[in-house]
C-alpha cells in the first residue's frame, strides 16, 4: 500500500471539541485511489473505519479501535447546465472556504451558510442549514465510495433523503459509504434570502443606500456567528449540540399555559420548532462548568464546550443531564447533532 498509516495517534488536533483520545490507526487520503487502497487494507484487517474531515461534528467517547481516515480530497470543477452552474467540490474542501470561493466566482445560493465549520463532504450528511437555507436547496448530487467493495456511486437529492439536519447517511447508509465529492447547483444571479428578522435588519443597515450583495450577506452572517459562537481554537466545541425539537400544535398550546414566553417558530403542517438554546437556558444550564471541564457556552446555551480537560464521556454526561432536565420541564427530547464514536 502506497498510503502511510500511523498507529496510536492522538485525535485531539483532529476534532474541534478538543477531546484527547487515540486512534489505533490513522491515515490521510487525497484521492479516490488512495481511499480505495486504505479501505481494502481496513477490510483485510477487519477494522472499522471512521471518515473524518475537520472533526467539527463528532464526539469521541473514548479511543477509536479502528482506522480513522482523514479525507483530504480537494479541488473544484464547474460546468453550466440549464442556466445554472454545477460546482463539483472535493469532500476535503473547507466548507467556509468553498462558500467564499463561490462568491469570488460570482456564484450564489450558499452565502447564508457562511462560516459553518467542517468540510464539503460532511455538508450533505448533516444537511447543514442556517438563516433559512439548507444544503438540500442547492444540492445536485454526490459521489461516495462503498466501504466494503470500493464501488463509487452517485446519489441525487431524492436518494439522499434529506430532512432537518438529516440524510440517508445518518440512517440506512450510515457507515456504508465515504463521500468523495459533492456537486451543487448554484446561480449566477444573486437573490437574497433574509427571512430571519435580525439578519435582514443587520444586512439592510450595513448596506445603507447600496444594493445588497451576496458578499455583504456572507460578511454579516460571519459577524453574527463570531459573536454567538466560540472559536474551537480558543474553546473546544462542536457547534450546536442539539437539534431544535419539533412539536405538534397541541403540545405547543399546552406549553403556552406554563411557558408564555417560550420561543418557537412555525414548522408547517400544524407543527412548531422550539428554540433548543432557549429551553436549555431556561433549565439553568447556560454558562455552567462542571469539574470535568465540560460546560455550556456562556453566550449560547445550544453549544457545549470543553474547557480543556473534558473527555468524551464528560461531554456526553452533561448532554444527558441537559436532555433529562428539558424532557422533565418541557416534555420534549433533545436530539444530539454531533455524531458519537
Side by side, the strands of the sheet bearing 303-306 are: 236-240, 303-306, 294-296
Catalytic pick among 84, 93, 165, 167: 165
CA 45 – CA 39 distance, rounded (Å): 10
Q: Which residues contact 188 (CB under 8 A, 6 or more apart)?
A: 85, 106, 107, 108
206 is catalytic: no
Provide the pairing of β-strand 152-156 with 139-146: antiparallel
At 179, give phi and psi (nearest 5°).
Answer: -70, 130
Q: Radius of gyration over alpha carbons of the chain, in Å?
A: 21
Taking the CA atoms of 168, 333, 240 and 340 in sequence, report the sign of the dihedral they define: negative
Give the list of residues 6+ apart from residue 211 with CB closer than 8 angstroms, or none: none
Nine-digit cell at 204? 439592510
- In angstroms, rounded to a whole number, what is the distance separating the alpha carbons of residues 14 and 302? 22
Of 239, 279, 284, nearest to 123 by C-alpha is 239
309 is catalytic: no
Q: Catalytic residue at 165? A: yes
Catalytic positions: 165, 240, 337
Amino acid at each position: 500500500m502506497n498510503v502511510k498509516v500511523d498507529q496510536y495517534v492522538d485525535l485531539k488536533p483532529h476534532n474541534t471539541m478538543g477531546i484527547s483520545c487515540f486512534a489505533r490507526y490513522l491515515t490521510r487520503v487525497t484521492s479516490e485511489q488512495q481511499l480505495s487502497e486504505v479501505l481494502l487494507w481496513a477490510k483485510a484487517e477487519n477494522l472499522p473505519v471512521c471518515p473524518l474531515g475537520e472533526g467539527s461534528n463528532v464526539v469521541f467517547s473514548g479511543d477509536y479501535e479502528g482506522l480513522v481516515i482523514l479525507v483530504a480530497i480537494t479541488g473544484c470543477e464547474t460546468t453550466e447546465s440549464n442556466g445554472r452552474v454545477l460546482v463539483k467540490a472535493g469532500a476535503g474542501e473547507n466548507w467556509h472556504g468553498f462558500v467564499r470561493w463561490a462568491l469570488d466566482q460570482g456564484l450564489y445560493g450558499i452565502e447564508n451558510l457562511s462560516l459553518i465549520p467542517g468540510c464539503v463532504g460532511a455538508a450533505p450528511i448533516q444537511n447543514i442549514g442556517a438563516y433559512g437555507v439548507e444544503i438540500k436547496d442547492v444540492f445536485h448530487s454526490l459521489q461516495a465510495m462503498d466501504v466494503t467493495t470500493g464501488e463509487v456511486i452517485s446519489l441525487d437529492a431524492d436518494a439522499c433523503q434529506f430532512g432537518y439536519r438529516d440524510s440517508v447517511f445518518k440512517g440506512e447508509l450510515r457507515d456504508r459509504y465515504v463521500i468523495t465529492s459533492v456537486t451543487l447547483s448554484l446561480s449566477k444571479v444573486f437573490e437574497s434570502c433574509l427571512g430571519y428578522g435580525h439578519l435582514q435588519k443587520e444586512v439592510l443597515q450595513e448596506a445603507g443606500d447600496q444594493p445588497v450583495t451576496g458578499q455583504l450577506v456572507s460578511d454579516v452572517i460571519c459577524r453574527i456567528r463570531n459573536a454567538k459562537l466560540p472559536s474551537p481554537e480558543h474553546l473546544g466545541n462542536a457547534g450546536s449540540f442539539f437539534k431544535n425539537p419539533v412539536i405538534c400544535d397541541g403540545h405547543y398550546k399546552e406549553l403556552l399555559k406554563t411557558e408564555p414566553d417560550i420561543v418557537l417558530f412555525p414548522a408547517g403542517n400544524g407543527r412548531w420548532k422550539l428554540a433548543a438554546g432557549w429551553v436549555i437556558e431556561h433549565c439553568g444550564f447556560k454558562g455552567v462548568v462542571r469539574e470535568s471541564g465540560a460546560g455550556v457556552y456562556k453566550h449560547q446555551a445550544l453549544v457545549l464546550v470543553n474547557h480543556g480537560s473534558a473527555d468524551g464521556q464528560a461531554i456526553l454526561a452533561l448532554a444527558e443531564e441537559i436532555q433529562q432536565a428539558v424532557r422533565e420541564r418541557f416534555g420534549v427530547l433533545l436530539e444530539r447533532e454531533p455524531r458519537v464514536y
